[in-house]
Homo-oligomer: A and B are copies of this chain.
């Protein structure tokens, strides 16, 4: 292969062959020198499988709690669905490189080539499969920008599961087509907070005009799952959880193999970070090499929005996963479960916390984080679209922006670094935001220190823990 790449230029888009799709997910926790802290109940006790089984499918709890097993086999029916839309391509951004006049090589892993339009389908297929295999009938979830809800709707339609989606109200109103596509896959979609759950009614009583948050929608979805008769309902989440990062390792494993075929290895790996699912999946095998000392110098950069800066301005603490404070707590960088980003914030990446795996890696110095403004993000996204023929989701454009900045730095220093970033999805459902940007009406929002303090005040104190 090396001989070939010496004579033939690297392709714009490298697709692995179908039989190269990984057959196991990689569990990065197994190689972390300091493991992420365990999920805890409000009492402070570590959450057990029995505690979690009313909420999550059994196999998924095993994925969630196991921080020692390095690989999990991907079930054949899940692989069969992966084969319909995977492998996703590893792309070389030649046009972007030329436009930047940079000596850097810029690669991106493009996860937008499926109906859901994003990487979210990788975990949705797995979660829906395990629910079906357990004999469950109903699934509930939340969605913000709508990518996760679309992905899970697609997966549930495939496996014949009923799906209730609680969609953050401001997204529900800004993105009617996101609702339509979920309904096309037979999902039921409710704007959150809603009056259909106890927790929704409680939160509406406190703030009748609430534009909603992921944390609130999670509370509602969990409550709904617990009320499905005969214990046949479960809740599923599209990011943050260890299980999701595990499933998303398929992104990194394919990227790793594709770069190996090209004889390349990234100096810098960049991903957008909301709950951390894409970032955790993309970096997994490269971070393994860093943690084991095989490739100690690789840099990892999480890019988050200024308007929801959990990694760059949050606290590393145990916090509830949801605003209704009905879920277990995770040790993570958090803005406080009561933090609600400015509703003007476009796209996803609006969760108050961050994957415990990503949080731990950041805390231990293995991963950097930067926060960027949304006008810069959209400018980078439009530039990329014109050059590379893919209209990126705003989330993905966070990574694009940082990749551009790193490549420009290479132009200054003359270093021919190899950059890899995750292009998580397409922006077809984000045209309202693109339009706003094009009309010059998009604003940037950076929470004040006071606003952050209000969020931090919602982080619980737990005796003996924090």
Residues of A within 8 A of B (CB): 8, 11-13, 15, 17-19, 81, 83-85, 94-95, 113-117, 121, 154, 157-158, 176-177, 180-181, 183-185, 382, 385-391, 426, 428-429, 431-432, 434-435, 438
* A181 contacts across to B, CB distance below 8 A: 391, 428, 431, 434
Question: 30 A-B residue contacts at CB 8 Å?
Answer: A11-B17, A11-B18, A12-B18, A12-B83, A12-B84, A13-B18, A13-B84, A15-B15, A84-B388, A84-B389, A85-B389, A113-B113, A114-B390, A116-B389, A117-B428, A154-B385, A176-B431, A177-B177, A177-B432, A180-B431, A180-B432, A180-B435, A181-B391, A181-B431, A184-B382, A184-B385, A184-B434, A185-B386, A426-B428, A428-B428
Q: What copy number does this chain have within its complex?
A: 2
Q: For the complex formed, measure the closest distance between the CB of A86 and the CB atoms of chain B, giving whole angstroms.
A: 9
Among A95, A116, A177, the one with the most B-chain Cβ atoms within 10 Å of its Cβ is: A177
Is B429 a contact of A157 with CB atoms below 8 Å?
no
What are the 9 A-B residue pairs with the smallest beta carbon separation, nearest first? A177-B431, A428-B428, A11-B18, A180-B431, A15-B15, A180-B435, A115-B391, A157-B386, A12-B83
Q: Which residues of B contact A390 (CB under 8 A)?
A: 114-115
Interface contacts beyond A84-B94, A154-B386, A157-B386: sample of 10 additional A-B pairs, CB < 8 Å, sorted by A: A8-B19, A12-B18, A115-B385, A115-B391, A158-B389, A177-B432, A180-B435, A183-B435, A184-B385, A185-B385
Inside 8 A of A382's CB, which chain B residues have their CB? 184
A387 x B180 contact (CB < 8 A): no
Contacts of A154 in B (CB 8 A): 385-386, 389
Distance (whole angstroms) from the CB of A267 to the closest CB of chain B: 24
CA distance A185 to B8 in the complex (A): 32
Contact of A83 among B11, B426, B438 (CB under 8 A): B11
Known contacts A11-B18, A83-B12; decide if A438 and B389 are in contact (CB<8 Å): no
- Whether A389 touches B121, Cβ cut-off 8 Å, given contacts A428-B428, A434-B180, is yes
| Complex: chain B residue closest to A93, CB-CB | B84
- Residues of the B chain whose Cβ atoms lie less than 8 Å from the Cβ of A121: 389
Considering the chains assembled together, what is the distance between the CA atoms of A8 and B18 in angstroms? Answer: 10
Which residues from chain B contact A434 at a C-beta distance below 8 Å? 180-181, 184
A113 surroundings in chain B (CB, below 8 A): 113
A463 to B408, CA, bound (A): 66
Nearest B residue to A437 via CB reads B184
Of B8, B184, B438, the residue contacting A184 (CB under 8 A) is: B438
Neighbour of A429 across the interface among B12, B176, B428, CB < 8 A: B428
Chain B: CB-nearest residue to A95:
B84
A446 CB to nearest B CB, Å = 25
Q: For A157, what are the chain B residues with a Cβ–Cβ distance below 8 Å?
A: 386
Could you tell me the distance in whole angstroms from the C-beta of A393 to the nearest C-beta in chain B? 12
A18 to B389, CA, bound (A): 16
Shortest distance from the beta carbon of A131 to any chain B beta carbon, whole Å: 17
Measured between beta carbons, the chain B residues less than 8 angstroms from A95 are 84
What residues of chain B lie closer than 8 Å to A428, measured between beta carbons? 117, 177, 181, 426, 428-429
Kindly state the separation between the CA atoms of A83 and B435 in the bound complex, as whole angstroms.
29
Q: Are B388 and A183 in contact (CB under 8 A)?
A: no
A390 to chain B, nearest CB (A): 6
For A113, give the chain B residue with the smallest CB separation: B113
In the bound complex, residues from chain B placing their C-beta under 8 Å from that of A391 are 115, 181, 184
Q: Which residue of B lies closest to A85 (CB)?
A: B389
Instruction: Indicate if the CB atoms of B386 and A158 lie closer than 8 Å.
Output: yes
CA A41 to CA B324, docked complex, whole Å: 72
Query: Which residues of the other chain, B, contact A158 by a CB distance below 8 angstroms?
Result: 386-387, 389
Contact of A438 with B12 in the complex, beta carbons under 8 Å: no
A391 CA to B121 CA in the complex, in Å? 14
